[in-house]
Amino acid sequence: MSQLFSPLTVRTVEVRNRLWVAPMCQYSSQDGLPGDWHHVHLAQFASGGAGLVMAEATAVVPEGRITPEDTGIWNDEQRDAWAPIVASIRSRGAVAAIQLAHAGRKASTFSPFATERGTVPGDRGGWQPLAPSALAFDGYDRPVELDLARIDDLVAAFAAAAERSVAAGFEVLEIHAAHGYLLHEFLSPLSNTRTDAYGGPLENRARLLLRIIDAVRAVAPGTPLFVRFSATDWADGGWDVAETTVVAGWAREHGVDLVDVSSGGLVAHQSITTGPGYQVPFAREVRRGAAVPVSAVGEITTGAQAEEILAAGDADAVMAGREWLRDPHFGLRAATELGEDAAIWPPQYVRARRH
């Protein structure tokens, strides 16, 4: 059996293979509620052979949404709307996961489908963004610096969202600390200029993330817990893979089971060199330096490429995004490509397994 189609056990959850669906925002929600689009969108990947299907960045508070059209899980109505979607994913043999998020200074923006860009004004459904420091992302409104009371509220909000997620049936939780959103903003010195216990030295910049990990672990002690990091800001003086590795090690000590390694998103002047598998070296460095399982992501488009990443010991699982959008049956295609007679084929599709 290929490594890609071998199972991976995380705590007590067995994932049937290591080709996973990365969280991808759909900007198609109203009042934070997932709907029919989200149901079909996510369930089709399970039918298509994914081992794990992760729902998009889902806000833990209303002001944590990237856009007014983002999904949320800050109330019980949203929890109940997620439940049938989760059931559909699981009934098709995949593990259902959710990414818990707060957009920080990149909140309250127009969706990619809009003709306008920047921050949505209050009279059009927007709100005041919050951040570790009152430093704006280029082209967005200046955020308000979070005070200590609001930081405490955020820790509680992540814990409450985790409880609702487990109640909805999600089997894996991921804390979003990447792509320039709130927790990444706390981690990076380019966006965090605080002088209190949450700014300055690395242990202070990581304090909020570790508090949230502890709070989530307290309410979901047996649930696999991931953290997504941007391994580098791709900008001088910013967060880098060395700091990511240190904090990933701390996260493991606090109960995180796997680190999901991406990069970028913090500043508009980032300078990224892309190409097939361009972020895999970051995953390899974090895996080896922090002694923690990792997933790799970034222009991974074939079963052979994913298998090579795992065989080289660079990651424990592979996440893909755009390739799943191009082909919701990417998992079935990859299995055929690798000569796997994989049990991931739904009975309804078995007749197509062989030409």
Domain boundaries, the chain: 8-352
The percentage of residues in the chain with a pLDDT greater than 70, rounded to a whole number, is 100
Contacts of 316 (CB under 8 A, 6+ apart): 8, 18, 258, 287, 293, 294, 295, 310
Where residue 72 falls among pLDDT bands split at 50, 70, 90?
very high
pLDDT at 258 over 70: yes
Across the range 238-261, mean pLDDT stands at 98
Separation between Cα atoms, residue 119 and residue 23, nearest integer Å: 23
| Cβ–Cβ < 8 Å for 240, 275 | no
pLDDT score at 355: 62
Separation between Cα atoms, residue 140 and residue 20, nearest integer Å: 33
Strands 294-296 and 317-320, by their bridges, are parallel
Identity of the residue numbered 320: A
Where residue 22 falls among pLDDT bands split at 50, 70, 90?
very high
Q: Is the dihedral of CA 145, 71, 276, 224 positive or negative?
A: positive
| Cβ–Cβ < 8 Å for 101, 181 | yes
Catalytic residues: 181
pLDDT at 204 over 70: yes
pLDDT score at 273: 87
Mean pLDDT of the chain: 97
- CATH architecture, domain defined by 8-352: Alpha-Beta Barrel (3.20)
**Lowest-pLDDT choice from 200-204, 207-211, 333-337:** 333-337
* Per-residue pLDDT tens over the stretch 288-313: 999 999 999 999 999 999 999 999 99
Alpha-carbon 90 to chain mean position: 19
Where residue 343 falls among pLDDT bands split at 50, 70, 90?
confident
pLDDT at 216 over 90: yes
pLDDT score at 199: 98
pLDDT score at 351: 87
